[in-house]
Amino acid sequence: MVLPLNPHPTFTKPDGPVVIVVADGVGHAPHGPSNAVTEAATPTIDALLAGPLATTIAAHGTAVGLPSDDDMGNSEVGHNAIGAGRVFAQGAKLVNGAIATGSMWESPTWKQLVHHGRAGTLHLLGLHSDGNVHSHTDHLYAMLHQAAIEGVERCRLHILLDGRDVAARSAQLYIEATEKVLAAINADHGVDYRIASGGGRMTITMDRYGADWPMVERGWRCHTLGDARGFATAAHAVDAMYEESDKGDQYLDAFVVVDDDGAAVGRMHDGDGVLLWNFRGDRAIEITQAYEAGDEVVGFDRGDDRPDVFFAGLLEYDGDLKVPNNYLVDPPQIDATMGEYLADAGLRCFAVSETQKFGHVTYFWNGNKSGYLDEALETYIEIPSDNVPFDEAPAMKAAEITDAVIELIETGDYDWGRINYANGDMVGHTGDLAATIESMEALDASLARLVEAVEAAGGIVIFTADHGNADIMFTEKDGARVPKTSHTTNAVPFAIHGAVGDLTLASIDAPGLANVAATAINLLGFEAPADYQPSLVTSPASG
């Protein structure tokens, strides 16, 4: 499909590249001791945000396709919005609609799950919180009720403890709420529904981009084979691990619930149905592959006695890889991304990030499409992330990303590019204020080198973020600091710097991340597509 762009009558392409820098998790919030962004020494960011082409833009809620403005943004929807130039209804909103209309229960995949559940056991696996970034317990509860109504007598929940998109040690609140739902369903329908296994989301199951397959293996063995430390209930498991360390929920070890004989109550068997109730794709793909690969090799040995189950996902997690084979709700159909338009215009680009965010500057940026749009025009570079706790290495790979980008810029071969610095998000999620401050300072030092290289090439830097996180690192309760590990609903910074001439900020009501694409397209000398959110800049000649 050819996606033509018309030359802009007043904007002209700079000599050097237009480089979009996404400082992941760096939101905009008032100065204060909880704000790692402003507590850090960040002279480069400060200078960018003090420039004439600086403002803030929305990166959460309806601005990125989420159900309401109470919903935190996240890296997936943020990069979708930047790359698409428009706002598409995203995972949670799509699922809410499918449940409200009942279309989910009419899908062939749901009917298959119910069939397998009636014949054996229905297993529901997913992130156990209402964070609404990867999942929501409301979706889980709707599925539990519907399964009971449709005659599924035995159901097992495999819960991934959050502590990342919600409070660091909030697992017991969610377990208590779910146990009440299960008790009511069991009493009303005479069924056997129980929590069967679990563990922290950063310890088991929810790896992404192939960074830590042993993590997926631990989860798969726990949920599938019942291979983990046993407890009488999930609440007992969490209590015990809280007593043993000060770790947040996301880092707790795998556990299984066992019966009086010590046998796991939720081991999977041939013919069972398994549904992953996460709606976000990046941390769902590897565990999906582990269940769907058959005899094919995945990142670990699953053995010859693995059960033959029917597996499905809540959404399709990768439209190019066709993962999973079966899913309940169609994902957003994102078309005509800025990358497609600019590739069809013959512009050369690069995308660079470390492993933790590589899919965001490629897959999500390109509208949930894997691989290159045009390999002859694009260069994608993944800097391998270190497999260590991020608060122990807060600089992450900012320096290496910057080295790679500067080398690309100095070739003179590229018209535009996009990069992601993961520091503010990945270190911010640890809840470690000191480490997050250090991570921001490392990011700023790398950004200084990058800005210098873009300036030397006669290019333009667009600096922004995909959502907030590092901007609020703790809240206070009864005079004590409570670490905040989740994203925020704060706006994010936006600034343009470099060969910008006499450009000024455009007057736009409620600008958001989706406005970035048209801005970049204008700076590259083209009129933006008519259906894109408008550009954030204007020139005197264009009005």
Backbone angles phi, psi at 527, to 5 degrees: -75, 140
Reduced to 3 states (helix: H, G, I; strand: E, B; else coil), residue 222 is: helix
Q: Which is it for strands 460-464 and 18-23: parallel, antiparallel or unpaired?
A: parallel
> Where would I find the beta strands (DSSP E) of 66-189?
122-127, 154-161
Measure the CA dihedral 309/314/319/321, to 10°.
Answer: -30
- Which among 284, 308, 286, 285 has a CA at the least distance from the CA of 295? 308
Residues of the chain with pLDDT under 50: none
Query: Who's near 294: CB < 8 A, 6+ residues apart?
Result: none
Question: Is residue 258 within 8 Å of residue 234, measured between CB atoms?
Answer: no
pTM, full prediction: 0.80
pLDDT at position 322 is: 81
Tell me the CA distances in angstroms from 319 to 72, 370, 450, one per residue in order: 25, 8, 34
Question: Any idea which residue has 């377990």 for tokens?
Answer: 175
pLDDT at position 540 is: 76
**Could you give the residue numbers annotated as active site?**
75
Q: How far apart are CA 329 and CA 384, in angstroms?
A: 33
pLDDT at position 320 is: 62
Residues found in the chain: 543
Question: Is residue 124 within 8 Å of residue 143, measured between CB atoms?
Answer: yes
Ordered domains of the chain (ranges, CATH): 18-89+333-538 (3.40.720.10), 92-329 (3.40.1450.10)
Secondary structure letter of residue 257 according to DSSP: E
Residue type at 327? Y
Residue type at 225? L
Cross-sheet strand order for the sheet of 349-354: 54-57, 492-498, 460-464, 18-23, 416-421, 349-354, 378-383
Tell me the CA distances in angstroms from 449 to 19, 391, 399, 401, one per residue in order: 13, 23, 9, 11
For 347: left if phi > 0, alpha if psi spans -120 to 50, otherwise beta; the answer is beta
Tell me the CA distances in angstroms from 230 to 105, 175, 195, 330, one per residue in order: 34, 17, 12, 37
Query: Who's near 297: CB < 8 A, 6+ residues apart?
Result: none
- Which among 233, 302, 309, 223 has a CA at the least distance from the CA of 266? 223
Q: How far apart are CA 489 and CA 239, in angstroms?
A: 31
Question: Is residue 424 within 8 Å of residue 37, measured between CB atoms?
Answer: yes
Tell me the CA distances in angstroms from 32 to 41, 117, 401, 438, one per residue in order: 13, 52, 30, 16
Beta-ladder partners of 192: 154
pLDDT at position 333 is: 87
Q: How far apart are CA 82 and CA 5, in angstroms?
A: 18
Cross-sheet strand order for the sheet of 122-127: 229-231, 255-257, 192-200, 154-161, 122-127, 273-276, 310-315, 327-329
Beta-ladder partners of 474: 483
Measure the CA dihedral 267/268/270/271, to 10°.
Answer: 130
